[in-house]
Amino acid sequence: MILIIGAGLAGLSTAYHLGDRPYRVIEKEKEAGGLCRSYQKDGFTFDMTGHLLHFRQAAIKALVEGLLAGRLEQHVRRSFIYSHRTYTEYPFQVNTYGLPPEVVRECLLGFIATLAKPAATRPEDRSFKAWILDNMGAGIAKHFMVPFNEKLWQVSLDELTSDWVSWLVPKPDLKDVINGALGIKDKAFGYNPTFLYPAQGGIGMLPRAFLPGVRDIVYSCELIEVETTRRRATFSDSRVEEYDTLVSTIPVPELVRRCTDLPKAIRAAADGLRCVSVYNVNLGVAREKISDNHWIYFPEPEFPFYRVGFPTNFSPSLGPRGCSSLYVEVSHQPTRTVPDTMLIQQIRDGLERAGIFRPDDELVVADVKDIRYAYVLFDKHRARALPAILEELARRGIHSIGRYGRWEHTSMEDAMAQGKQLAEKLGAH
């Protein structure tokens, strides 16, 4: 029997693609979806931060379009950066037009200086900060890349490695940087110039679409303990499940903590894995079209949030008539917390300073979700420890997949692809 822990996209995709193989999915929450759940509150539909679909794999695009036939809409990205009291288009490095002239000059000269430098001999050993300086230059680093990323990751960028960056942060050509400084637009830039999103119901429509093809899910049941040598798992409702193969999609440190018989070195390695948590603050406002944008980045420290998105611009059905909705993302160290009322007030003050809120705007909904595991930190410990942890688990018949199961920075598409690939591999046995 194949036991699948977690009914997020990776777990659902595994089950969906296992066909007739015997399996059971066990989910801690009372519904499927993981961080791709949507929920209703006072007439609004909210996601857990922004979840937008972009595809690089034809097979997963076909899968999702089949599951959500006719229920997806394509959008051309409208994303901006707010800095120096100015909105510039995203990504920053090819859209500096409109910033103060001395900032534009600094960004241009810094980028040009990177072209004259020899390529790094061992680029994989560079810190994220060194990668930014080598690829973007001192000006772009100073005015966007460093302050934004330090706000997001909540650590010095010298502590992070750069092996994960290349597909997420493309290096532009000199022509693109110059055109962007002069306000000349000739192409969409970045990994997500367009995206797909359900016409109604929020991103939670995607995990729900898997459910008719998934036979056996147990809800409201948390994994307590795994005896890996006996291949036996114990759960919060006292059930004990014996398995041949365990598929885990929960965060690696949580899984390792629950495995009673792993070597001490593996347990210590998992304890050293770091992540950043995110307050996802969902707001409903009694004013329509509060912004025309899909989302906005905020690199400057005077704003507590690093990104604000506008779900009612993805789909008007996500809020009542005459209202707008926002999701606001605030990173924090997992051990540092802020009371909800203080957080909401800080966010409101910041949104007013940015000109998004008016002082008389009525907040009809303010709901805080603390996402304990949001972004995995790519540091030297992870680079050393993770392969050993995953190898030891695999040796014991445990496949750890998905964004937090692989402990990586991946998309919804990747989570579904990993589930499909694993199911095909297990189905071949």
pLDDT at 191 exceeding the cut of 60: no
Tell me the two tokens of residue 48: 């857990």
Q: What is the mean pLDDT of residues 412-421?
A: 98
How does the average pLDDT of the chain come out, rounded? Answer: 96
Residue 164: predicted pLDDT: 86
Pairwise CA distance, residues 140 & 306, whole Å = 17
Q: What is the mean pLDDT of residues 370-385?
A: 97
Q: What is the mean pLDDT of residues 381-394?
A: 98
pLDDT at 192 exceeding the cut of 90: no
Residue 112 region, left (φ>0) first, then alpha (ψ -120 to 50), else beta? Answer: alpha
Residue-wise pLDDT for 312-369, tens only, equals 999 999 999 999 999 999 999 999 999 999 999 999 999 999 999 999 999 999 999 9
Q: What is the mean pLDDT of residues 236-256?
A: 98
pLDDT at 167 exceeding the cut of 70: no
Residue 255: predicted pLDDT: 99
Residue 428: predicted pLDDT: 61
* Closest C-alpha to 272, from 257, 293, 259: 257
Residue-wise pLDDT for 270-325, tens only, equals 999 999 999 999 999 999 999 999 999 999 999 999 999 999 999 999 999 999 99
Residue 396: predicted pLDDT: 98
pLDDT at 176 exceeding the cut of 60: yes
Residue-wise pLDDT for 55-90, tens only, equals 999 999 999 999 999 999 999 999 999 999 999 999
Sign of CA dihedral 107, 130, 297, 185: positive
Pairwise CA distance, residues 232 & 241, whole Å = 6
Whether pTM > 0.85 for this model: the answer is: yes
* Closest C-alpha to 419, from 1, 6, 107: 6
Peptide bond into 311 cis (omega under 30): no
Q: What is the mean pLDDT of residues 128-152?
A: 97
Percent of the chain with pLDDT over 90: 93
* ∠ CA 34-401-1, rounded to 5°: 95
Q: Which amino acid is at 188?
A: A
The pairing of strands 2-5 and 23-26 is parallel
Buried b (16+ CB within 10 A) or exposed e, 267-283: eebbeebbbbbbbbbbb
Residue-wise pLDDT for 197-213, tens only, equals 999 999 999 999 999 99
pLDDT at 187 exceeding the cut of 70: no
Q: How many CB atoms within 10 Å of residue 382?
A: 24
Tell me the two tokens of residue 335: 């051990």
Q: What is the mean pLDDT of residues 247-272?
A: 98
* Contacts of 101 by beta carbon, 8 Å cutoff, 6+ apart: none
Q: Which amino acid is at 13?
A: S
**All structural domains of the chain:** 2-36+205-274+379-427 (3.50.50.60), 92-184 (1.10.3110), 275-376 (3.90.660.20)
